[in-house]
């Protein structure tokens, strides 16, 4: 059995009866370096294929594991061992693995699984890494990406760079599985790749390449349209949905909030929001209304589909504004304490600010799948759903985005696959200024 890989993922409070609700616990020393991992021990008969812990609603922190064993593994919290609860049973042939979970107590200081230590959240997360649209594209209508080539599909390189950057939190803004059709015969770039909605594809498209970053920090996962019930929805609910397992797959789930010290993350499920007519904004009217009460004094809106993203045509000279469904449902207005909209879906890096009261829109769909053309159209001054663009930075390069706080607000840096900075943006209230990377 391969070495245990660690992951941290968000979870809801009532998942494991009888275990106290969780809140972030300190796992890093005052200097900020991650606590050292234990030397791997001989795995038990129920040692998992993958293990992680995630953020969830109301301050919850949940450990999860995926195992091929006949029972869930034991989790040790501050020297006290307890068996994890089954979230979803094995369901061969597509899912020959069971999903397990356990709520972590508020004051947990050390959590181990299969002989290795899980990286718990810090009390004050100050280094946030963001990835999106990470999978390898295998679909005739869109193209067949060379999944076997780390230059063509660089998500594994991105994950290593994130681990080297030492984040406190990693956010994935949606779309995990892109291997939807078989690799064409004779195509050596993707030869041998699994495809379809099953464990082998989840493992190849996400868990194996993500391993270094999953071991480095807790994660917060956002659902994308690739995780609709007609696509990878069953896997989403088995692995990443942070609330109790529903009896059947659901295409729309309620918004929730995750409090990271100083910033409240509002997580909105936009998988069902159509990019083009016919539009049906009605299901999103209530979720947008709920955000008003959830925003607090300082919030970011996390979703997969952007409120005001720019989708280029094949030439890059013309753009379409996305997402019309979300715009109609929200009336293009968000609670004033939402300071940033952070999404994926468009396979570019975009940092957009507006002349009115709208918060900045950042798109981070650059972490693995095929990229869109670089936008060449003039953007500043363009009308975007009723407000004009004050600034616009767009890049068609694979990589990830990092955030660190400063005296003037959060600073966002767009980085390439090796972690080198490409552009640096300073968020000041509802404005953002981008320029060359800091040296």
- CATH classification at residue 341: 3.30.750.180
Q: Is residue 316 part of a domain?
A: yes
Q: Is residue 107 part of a domain?
A: yes
What torsion do the CA atoms of 2, 151, 232, 401 make, to the nearest 10 degrees? 100
CA nearest 385: which of 426, 344, 355, 343?
Answer: 355
Q: Is residue 242 part of a domain?
A: no
Q: Is residue 193 part of a domain?
A: no
Whole-number average pLDDT of the chain: 89
Count up the domains in the chain and report the number. Answer: 2
Residue 34 has pLDDT above 80, yes or no: no
Mean predicted confidence (pLDDT) in 270-295:
96
Distance CA 219, CA 213 (A): 9
Which of 62, 96, 117 is a domain's end point?
A: 117
Range of the domain at 260: 252-395
What phi and psi values does residue 8 have, to the nearest 5 degrees? -120, 130
Mean predicted confidence (pLDDT) in 372-385:
97
Res 15: pLDDT: 34
Which of 89, 117, 145 is a domain's end point?
A: 117
Return the higher-pLDDT residue of 131 and 59: 131
Banded pLDDT at 312 (limits 50, 70, 90): very high
CA nearest 350: which of 318, 383, 379, 315?
Answer: 379
pLDDT, tens only, 173-192 = 999 999 999 999 999 999 99
What phi and psi values does residue 162 have, to the nearest 5 degrees? -65, -45
Return the higher-pLDDT residue of 314 and 431: 314
Q: Is residue 335 part of a domain?
A: yes
Res 439: pLDDT: 56
Which of 92, 117, 142 is a domain's end point?
A: 117
pTM of the model: 0.89
Q: Is residue 74 part of a domain?
A: yes
Mean predicted confidence (pLDDT) in 45-67:
87
Residues 6+ apart with CB under 8 A from 257: 57, 264, 265, 266, 267, 294, 296, 299
Q: Is residue 366 part of a domain?
A: yes
Take residue 320 and report the two structure tokens written for it.
């379409």
Q: Is residue 405 part of a domain?
A: no
């Amino acid at each position: 059995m391969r070495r245990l890989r660690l992951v941290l993922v968000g979870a809801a409070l009532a998942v494991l009866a009888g275990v106290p609700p969780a809140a972030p616990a300190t796992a890093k020393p005052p200097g900020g370096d991650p606590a050292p991992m234990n030397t791997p021990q001989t795995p038990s008969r129920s040692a998992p294929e993958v293990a992680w812990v995630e953020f969830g609603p109301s301050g919850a922190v949940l450990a999860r594991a995926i195992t091929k064993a006949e029972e869930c593994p034991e989790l040790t919290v501050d020297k006290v061992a307890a068996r994890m609860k089954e979230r979803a049973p094995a369901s061969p042939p597509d899912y020959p693995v069971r999903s397990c979970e356990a709520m972590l107590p508020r004051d947990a200081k050390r959590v181990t699984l299969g002989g290795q230590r899980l990286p718990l959240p810090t009390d004050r997360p100050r280094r946030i890494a963001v990835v999106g649209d990470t999978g390898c594209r295998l679909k005739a209508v869109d193209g067949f990406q060379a999944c076997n080539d780390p230059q063509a599909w660089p998500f594994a390189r991105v994950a290593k760079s994130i681990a080297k950057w030492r984040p406190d939190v990693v956010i994935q803004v949606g779309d995990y599985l892109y291997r939807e059709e078989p690799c064409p015969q004779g195509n050596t770039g993707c030869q041998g790749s699994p495809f379809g909605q099953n464990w082998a594809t989840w493992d190849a498209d996400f868990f194996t390449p993500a391993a270094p970053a999953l071991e480095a920090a807790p994660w917060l996962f956002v659902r994308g349209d690739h995780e609709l019930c007609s696509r990878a929805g069953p896997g989403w609910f088995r692995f990443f949905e942070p609330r109790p397992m529903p009896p059947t797959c659901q295409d729309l789930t309620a918004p929730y909030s995750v409090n990271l010290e100083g910033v409240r993350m509002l997580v909105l499920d936009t998988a069902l929001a159509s990019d083009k007519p016919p539009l049906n904004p009605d299901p999103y009217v209530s979720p947008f209304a709920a955000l008003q009460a959830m925003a607090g004094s300082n919030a970011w809106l996390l979703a997969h589909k952007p409120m005001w993203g720019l989708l280029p045509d094949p030439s890059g000279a013309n753009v379409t504004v996305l997402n019309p469904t979300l715009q109609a449902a929200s009336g293009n207005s968000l609670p004033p304490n939402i300071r940033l909209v952070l999404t994926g879906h468009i396979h570019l890096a975009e940092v957009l600010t507006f002349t009115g009261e709208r918060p900045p829109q950042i798109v981070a769909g650059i972490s693995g799948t095929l990229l869109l053309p670089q936008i060449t159209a003039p953007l500043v001054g363009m009308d975007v759903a009723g407000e004009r663009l004050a600034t616009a930075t767009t890049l068609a390069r694979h990589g990830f985005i990092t955030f660190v706080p400063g005296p003037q607000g959060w600073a966002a840096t767009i980085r390439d696959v090796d972690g080198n900075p490409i552009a640096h943006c300073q968020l000041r209230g509802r404005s953002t200024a981008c320029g060359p990377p800091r040296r």
